[in-house]
Amino acid sequence: MRKGTIVENLRAVRERIVTCCEACGRDPGGVQLLAVSKTRPAGDLRAAFDAGQRCFGENYLQEALEKQGQLADLAIEWHFIGPLQSNKTRAVAERFDWMHSVDRLKIAQRLSAQRPRGRPPLNICLQVNIDGEQSKSGVLPDGLPALAAAVAALPGLVLRGLMAIPAPRHPEAQREPFEQLAQLLAQLRTELPGQPLDTLSMGMSGDLEAAIGSGATMVRVGTDIFGTRD
């Protein structure tokens, strides 16, 4: 995509975030924009970086590693946001700053064991299957407390919060799953007082207003920054 278009799109998304925060009485500084850059060429990420974007989310590991090599001169904060097979955890443990899609203890244990000494802890979000969809990854809400407690005890990781990808809804109903996720995070804060638990990774291009209104601290936006994928 043309660099100017990415710059304009980023500006428009940031304005949406500010407008929404002002409407619901929140500080815009409390909402981080994560640019979802899966399938986008490295040049698009560089254009967004030049426009001030620092956090990028990738879904496909091999593609992400290639882009990391091409963009090694940039101080990017890398987030892995897609499903991850247990035999591919080492690269995420070694090369990423955040992992949003942990949904079972085995993955967290491998990330913990493989996180290099000397690096800061890997920031972890637990993915919650908030709607109980069989086609989606994520721990069910009933299983969340036990998984969170187990992950919080692992070295090399820090449990930051929760992530969800709700099923599509009519605009009037978009806030329901986000509010449920916020309630789950509030419950975890009482059960795990030693953890930061400061992150709600929820909301995308089509529903970020509903997510911010429900307490999102990080919104994951791809299409509205980089355009529709081929």
- Provide the CATH number for the domain around residue 201: 3.20.20.10
For residue 43, the SS3 value is: helix
- In this prediction, residue 230 carries a pLDDT of 65
Q: How far apart are CA 89 and CA 105, in angstroms?
A: 12
Query: Of 219, 226, 96, 105, which Cα lies nearest the Cα of 163?
Result: 219
Q: How far apart are CA 72 and CA 47, in angstroms?
A: 14
What type of residue is 128?
V
Residue indicated by tokens 């990781």: 157
Written as six digits, the tokens of 12 are: 């428009």
The answer to whether 152 and 193 have CB atoms below 8 angstroms apart is: no
Q: How far apart are CA 214 and CA 203, in angstroms?
A: 10
- In this prediction, residue 133 carries a pLDDT of 87
pLDDT in tens, the chain (230 residues): 687 899 999 999 999 999 999 999 999 999 999 999 999 999 999 999 999 999 999 999 999 999 999 999 999 999 999 999 999 999 999 999 999 999 999 999 999 999 999 999 999 999 999 998 888 899 999 999 999 999 999 999 999 999 999 999 998 899 999 999 999 999 999 999 999 999 999 999 999 999 999 999 999 999 999 998 76
Question: In the chain, how many domains are there?
Answer: 1
Domain range enclosing 176:
3-226
Q: Tell me phi and psi for residue 136, to 5 degrees.
A: -115, 150
Q: How far is CA 90 from the centre of its chain?
A: 19
pTM of this structure: 0.96
The answer to whether 219 and 174 have CB atoms below 8 angstroms apart is: no
What type of residue is 140?
L
Q: How far apart are CA 94 and CA 31, in angstroms?
A: 26
Torsion of CA 131, 133, 136, 138, to 10 degrees: 50
The beta strand positions in the chain, using DSSP E, are: 32-36, 55-58, 77-80, 98-102, 122-127, 157-163, 199-201, 218-221
